[in-house]
């Protein structure tokens, strides 16, 4: 099962650190996949949830363990064109990633192709059959701990 650190978070939310390239790199070094928010503005790449904050290079994005949430259409086009694993959503129940995973929001039906977002919000629901989980507390799921 893929364990995905939401915006780099491993042990809870740290909004001031989320999407910071060094924070993301720490989660990657600890063996987690990481969901990041990617913007493309004036031919430059940035990470940041609500706005472009941290400048990055294309090389940074060329990591198989990154799940890139395109935050604008320019970013989505760029990521797809460069074969970077990505997805786009706004208020969808589920969205398909460029590698065929189903990015599935809390409260929605799960499948064997689902990435279960925030399993802690799914009280008493089985998600063990999913392809992966994404959480701000992904560290508690390592080694089968829940």
Query: Is the whole-model pTM more than 0.85?
Result: yes
SS3 label, residue 120: helix
Q: Rounded to 5 degrees, what are φ and ψ at 52? A: -70, 120
CA–CA dist 127, 4 (Å, integer): 14
Q: What is the pLDDT of residues 12-28, one digit of tens each?
A: 999 999 999 999 999 99
CA–CA dist 88, 104 (Å, integer): 12
SS3 label, residue 8: coil
Please, which pLDDT band fits residue 146 given cuts at 50, 70 and 90?
low
Q: What is the DSSP string of 38-60?
A: EEEETTEEEE-SSS--EEE-HHH
């Amino acid at each position: 099962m893929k364990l995905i650190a939401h915006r780099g978070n491993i042990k809870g939310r740290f909004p001031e650190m989320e999407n910071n390239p060094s924070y993301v790199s720490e989660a990657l070094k600890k063996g987690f996949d990481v969901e990041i928010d990617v913007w493309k503005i004036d031919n430059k790449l940035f990470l940041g949830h609500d706005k472009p904050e941290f400048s990055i290079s294309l090389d940074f994005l060329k990591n198989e363990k990154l799940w890139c949430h395109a935050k604008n259409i320019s970013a989505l086009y760029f990521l797809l064109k460069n074969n970077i694993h990505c997805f786009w959503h706004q208020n969808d129940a589920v969205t398909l990633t460029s590698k065929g995973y189903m990015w599935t929001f809390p409260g929605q039906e799960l499948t064997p192709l689902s990435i279960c977002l925030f399993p802690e919000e799914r009280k008493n629901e089985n998600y063990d059959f999913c392809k992966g989980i994404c959480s701000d507390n992904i560290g508690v799921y390592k080694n089968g701990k829940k």
